[in-house]
Amino acid sequence: MCGIVGAVAGRDVVAILLEGLKRLEYRGYDSAGVAIQNAEGVLDRMRVTGKVRDLESCLTGRPFVGHLGIAHTRWATHGRPADCNAHPHTSHDTVAVVHNGIIENHEALRIRLEDLGYDFTSDTDTEVIAHLVHHHRLQQPSLWHAVRIAVSELVGAYAIGVVSTTDPGRLVAARLGSPLVVGIGVDEQFIASDVTALLSVTRHFVFLEDGDVAELTQTGVTIHDAAGQIVGRPIKKSEVSADAINLGDFVHYMQKEIHEQSTAIADTLEGRLSGHRILEEAFGPLARGVFDETRCIQIVACGTSYHAGLVARYWFEAIAGIPCTVEVASEFRYRRPVVSPGTLVVCISQSGETADTLAALQETKRLGYAHSLAICNVPESSIVREAELTLMTRAGPEIGVASTKAFTCQLVALLLLVIAIGRRHGLGLVREAEIVAELAALPVLIEKVLRLEGAIRVLAKQLLDKHHALFLGRGTQYPVAMEGALKLKEISYIHAEAYPAGELKHGPLALIDAQMPVVALAPDNELLEKLRSNLQEVRARGGQFFLFADTAANFQDAPDMRVVRMPSVGSTTAPVVYTVPLQLLAYHTAAIKGTNVDQPRNLAKSVTVE
């Protein structure tokens, strides 16, 4: 969602701030802005509705230099996209604030501040923070003190960076519920929403915890915890290189990340397989005892991660032999579930900062669930710190808003977990060895699918004039169909929905005609003949098929059916392999249409607000 960058240094920081914003563009935004303290000690600010390049253009040719500054990309929550609502927000030209999150009590604070004589020029919740800090700075000895008092009055979630002309050379940052990292340099310090923004200037980071308030100067960082005590947070060296977030020879990040999946899956498996078995040590030293006590699984996730959980439900019940329920985190957190003894809560999140998933995890602790495990792609994220056990995927940075390699790595991680749990419930050595062999074969199989890209691009051209599409799958392929429909709708803006193929006669058949393309998944498994019958129902009503089918399934091209022949794959790992052509289909449809593939309208990569 919104992106924050801040810097204090012995050199001009404007270029650093702008580069940081560019590296955060993948999060999604509608406006951008920057504020610096110039050589005269005055706050200089520029905000625009649009892209970071528009902000950069506005700064070209004008004096805009400073050693202290903050910058922001905004994704509208309170207030429409407009220059007046863009960050940074200021108060009396002395305090400037950037903010990610939602302040739930902003209306009450606004009334109070208006009574104190403050004028509001925006519709945002963030402006109350600027005025509140200014108000307290009038009575407090430093900006740090003012910020600490101000955040104590906020209800909701926030990550903020604050500068003030009254405290030159000082940047104050605070977080509660929204991510914020501190970058450690040589006689220069930085803040950002995530490490990718700062990889061009540092590889060393401190991850602030909820309630922390930090003061940054050129010479160092001081952090106080929620109780006001000075604390030392560990400095972590990021393993992500700056090159990892460059496009290379690809047109879009999404295309690059689709092609990185074989490597990402190999990395996720590395060190977690030994011969024909998985290594439980990958889940941490406490895992063995937790798995021994596990009697059922509760998965909570959002969006693409939710679809990964739906696939895993089939695996947990068919392979591990234990009950599994899957729920959208935003729904789970507001109902009153019955807690079954021995339930392991599995939270899935690419970013580890998804607000609803984090809140759901916290709710499971309050409700008394036995144990928790996070499957995540970002070390030191909030969900990783909150969970009892973790299994990190190794997808690497994912810049495109539409998740690709993170999803397939989540599926691989979940299957590792299924095997570990299944050992306690009757999964034998022979069956485990079969699944491990399927996992080990995945990188090669995905490379084979990627070689079908040219044929899939030809299919994509047939979707350009369509307004709707139907995706069909059975068994574990049904959640894959859901994921394929999501990918198509979010980046090409073609309405798409998925159904279990067996449900066609219960309603969706009414939609079938020559203008409704049907995308179907046909691996060679026990449901193939059932699916074949379902497809005949569609063909009899004039439907047009795009069919991704195992070569052994023996489907033939016809005027009403285009067949992409998939490599043979084991039935267990087929969902991973069949995901890839759907990603390519969505990508090429959007790329040919000319939509913004990596930053689709109205969407954000990391949903850190409710």
More confident residue, 587 or 194: 587
- Looking at residue 489, its amino acid is K
| Strand-strand pairing, 171-176 and 181-184 | unpaired
605 has pLDDT over 70: no
> What CATH number has the domain spanning 3-244?
3.60.20.10
CB burial of 102-141 (b: ≥16 within 10 Å; e: otherwise) equals bbeebeebbebbeeeebebebebbbbbbbbbbbbbbeebe
407: pLDDT strictly greater than 90: yes
Question: CB of 463 within 8 A of CB of 278?
Answer: no
3-state secondary structure 60-121: CCCCCCCCEEEEEEECCCCCCCCHHHCCCEEECCCEEEEEEEEECCHHHHHHHHHHCCCCCC
The CA-atom distances, in angstroms, between 205 and each of 6, 186, 202 are: 14, 12, 8
For 471-523, give the DSSP string.
EEE-TTHHHHHHHHHHHHHHHH--EEEEEEGGGGGGTGGGG-STTSEEEEEE-
Catalytic residue IDs: 2, 605
212: pLDDT confidence band, cut at 50, 70 and 90? very high
CA–CA separation, 41 and 538 (whole Å): 70
Write down the residue that tokens 């991704």 correspond to.
548
Three-class DSSP category at 352: coil
Looking at per-residue confidence, does 602 or 435 come out higher? 435
Tokens encoding 199: 């990889």
At residue 420 the predicted structure's pLDDT band, cuts being 50, 70 and 90, is very high
- CATH class assigned to 452-598: alpha beta
Q: Where in the chain is the domain with CATH 3.40.50.10490?
A: 247-446, 452-598
Whether this prediction's pTM lies above 0.85 is answered by no
pLDDT above 90 coverage of the chain, percent: 67
- Residues 128-158 have pLDDT tens digits of 999 999 999 999 999 999 999 999 999 988 9
Q: Tell me the pLDDT tens digit for each residue of 213-269.
A: 999 999 999 999 999 999 999 998 887 766 666 777 899 999 999 999 999 999 899
Domain 247-446, second-level architecture: 3-Layer(aba) Sandwich (3.40)
Region(s) of the chain under CATH 3.60.20.10 = 3-244
- pLDDT score, position 607: 62
What pLDDT is stored for residue 243 in this prediction? Answer: 61
- Three-state SS for 561-577 is EEEEEECCCCCCCHHHH
Q: In this structure, how many other beta carbons lie within 10 angstroms of the beta carbon of residue 142?
A: 15
pLDDT tens digit sequence for 30-74: 899 999 999 899 999 999 998 899 999 999 888 899 999 999 998
